[in-house]
Amino acid sequence: MDFKLISVAGGTAARAGVITTDHGSIETPIFMPVGTVGAVKAVHMTELRDDIKAQIILGNTYHLYLRPGMDIIRRAGGLHQFNSWSGPILTDSGGFQVFSLAEQRKLTDEGVTFRSHIDGSKHLFTPESVVDTQRIIGSDIMMALDECTPGTAERDYARRSLSLTERWLERGWKHFNETTPLYGHRQAFFPIVQGCVYKDLRQESARFVADLGAEGNAIGGLAVGEPTEVMYDMIEVVNDILPADRPRYLMGVGKPENILEAIDRGVDMMDCVMPTRNGRNGMLFTKHGVMNMRNRKWTDDFSPLQPDGPSVVDHVYSKAYLRHLFIAQELLALQIASIHNLAFYLWLVKEAREHIIKGDFPDWKRQMVIDVQRRL
């Protein structure tokens, strides 16, 4: 994986760059649709590519490991072959899912033992095994195993958790460098900065991560219960230390305004289930604000979803029709809303990139943050 920095916006830390992988290039800043089990919910791969304009998608090690399992993925030739996505893929190590979904989990220096949320079966993830699993998945970018502490964790817990994450990281990094890809394309390994909401712990973790010299770095453990302004502060603290010549990935964030603020603070890559999850529940994000499509006000509004929107569905379907689909519990509603929201998120980061390069990002971002939070 290679990263080239193109431009930095004056007066901010916002950057535009290009990540090059063996499955294609990614223009940053970028939002990555979440395809947890190898599929972005309610969206075809052709729609991801042609309408939404996604450049990279996510898969999740925890979910793919449990179902369909590594034997199937390997026999298919990796996730790219299995799900017919030809572009870059990033995989989360599964740590967050273990801590948020699995029951009866137990953390030790060896790794984390947990029971599947599907059938209760017992499993062990170690720093080494999640590297091996992501080798089988064949993602272009793989993540280190870490513990994601909640944003409300006490300092003593955050301290112990970070120490464990650092010990795991040393082992995972070593194993990554001692193993090779299975399918002929390069794979990158991103360590993850943790430390909860404590500045000194975040600084320690960022220095520890930066010293590894990995091809990119991630910021985890944010948007998990802490106040939004604290999240922004932690991003600034970390990005002051992480190397500027490597991409920075903020994990699991978030709302459109969060994405803009993260870009402002030097983040290059982001992901979140919000555009698809909220879309399936009737919430549409637009450049003019947020719409709840179940509201009665849209009953006889026959105007397009977003006349100036980036997606085909924005122009084809009316607000009244989409509201009707949601009220009737028609599955097409979930597809239309998901496509719309993802296309908007990809449009938003593309616009941010263009304004960074143009040189007027601060003014554009200041107004856009106001616009996207408006309730329509």
Catalytic residue ranges: 92, 271
Q: If residue 4 lies in a helix (H) or strand (E), which one and from where to where?
A: strand 2-8
Q: Provide the 3-class DSSP secondary structure of residue 104.
A: strand
Residue 182's nearest CA partner among 88, 79, 92, 78 is 78
Q: Using CA atoms, how far apart are residues 232 and 225, in angstroms rounded to an integer? A: 13
Query: Using CA atoms, how far apart are residues 237 and 221, in angstroms rounded to an integer?
Result: 14
Q: How is residue 31 written in tokens?
A: 């939002």
Question: Minimal CA–CA distance to 237: which of 271, 267, 269?
Answer: 267
Residue corresponding to tokens 């272009």: 140
DSSP at 284: E
Radius of gyration of the chain (CA): 20
**Phi, psi for residue 32 in degrees, rounded to 5:** -115, 115
Nearest alpha-carbon partner for 202 in 254, 164, 158, 139: 158
CB 226 within 8 A of CB 152: yes
